[in-house]
């Protein structure tokens, strides 16, 4: 299977929904400040222009929403209703922003081809059960020449660190994310070529990737 080539561990939507139903009350406390620098850098890489249509895959509790300029249209999707409830509350504090939020499976986006100018996924690709199919869907709904931005932790190329990540993978999969997801095979499977690649956040442990959607 395609996904098995980029991650040795498999999840399903039920596992993800259950994990984030549990995490939703404390998600912002745990993940807001520590991952904030990466979020800011990811939004900046989109290169948003007035009137641009943005799709955020895995919008979660909406921590990214205040970072977008008010002159664009933002559509956020997430599989967790509990997380989206918090995102909707956050959106109410941004009356100048055009924001639409809906429950949706990232691997089966209910949008026509080329619906958006840019598509972003922050801290999501290692959470979805099928990262390859999710990236294919992100490409499909993005216009040719638009930006695809991915921010995520990927398995380390360092053999010692990578071994520990592999050991942790079974436990982490049970609570809703993969530690053994590899960046290079993922990009190869989806035929995406990064035009920018940066390391961000604590100890530069997360990678920020921007690709131009092929024309």
Task: Tell me the pLDDT band of 127, cut-offs 50, 70 and 90.
Answer: confident
13-27, 83-97, 167-181: lowest mean pLDDT where?
A: 167-181
pTM listed for this prediction: 0.86
- Residue 85, Cβ neighbours under 10 Å: how many? 13
Closest among 104, 201, 80 to 152, alpha carbons compared:
201
pLDDT score of 3 more than 50: no
What pLDDT is recorded for position 187?
A: 94
**Structural domains in the chain plus CATH codes:** 2-212 (3.40.50.150)
């Amino acid at each position: 299977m395609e996904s098995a080539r980029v991650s040795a561990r498999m999840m399903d939507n039920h596992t993800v929904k259950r994990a984030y139903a549990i995490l939703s009350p404390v998600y912002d406390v745990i993940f807001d400040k520590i991952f904030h620098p990466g979020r800011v850098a990811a939004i900046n890489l989109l290169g948003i222009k007035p009137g641009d249509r943005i799709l955020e895959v895995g919008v979660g509790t909406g921590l990214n929403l205040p970072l977008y300029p008010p002159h664009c249209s933002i559509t956020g999707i997430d599989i967790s209703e509990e997380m989206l409830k918090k995102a909707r509350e956050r959106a109410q504090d941004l009356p100048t922003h055009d924001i639409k939020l809906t429950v949706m499976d990232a691997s089966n986006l209910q949008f026509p081809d080329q619906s958006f100018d840019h598509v972003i996924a922050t801290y999501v690709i290692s959470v979805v059960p099928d990262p390859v199919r999710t990236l294919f869907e992100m490409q499909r709904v993005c216009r040719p020449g638009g930006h695809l931005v991915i921010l995520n932790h990927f398995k380390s190329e360092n053999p010692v660190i990578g071994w520990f990540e592999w050991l942790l993978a079974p436990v982490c999969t049970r609570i809703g994310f993969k530690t053994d997801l590899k960046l290079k095979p993922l990009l190869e499977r989806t035929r995406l070529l990064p035009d920018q690649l940066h390391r961000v956040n604590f100890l530069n442990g997360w990678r920020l990737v921007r690709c131009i959607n092929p024309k």
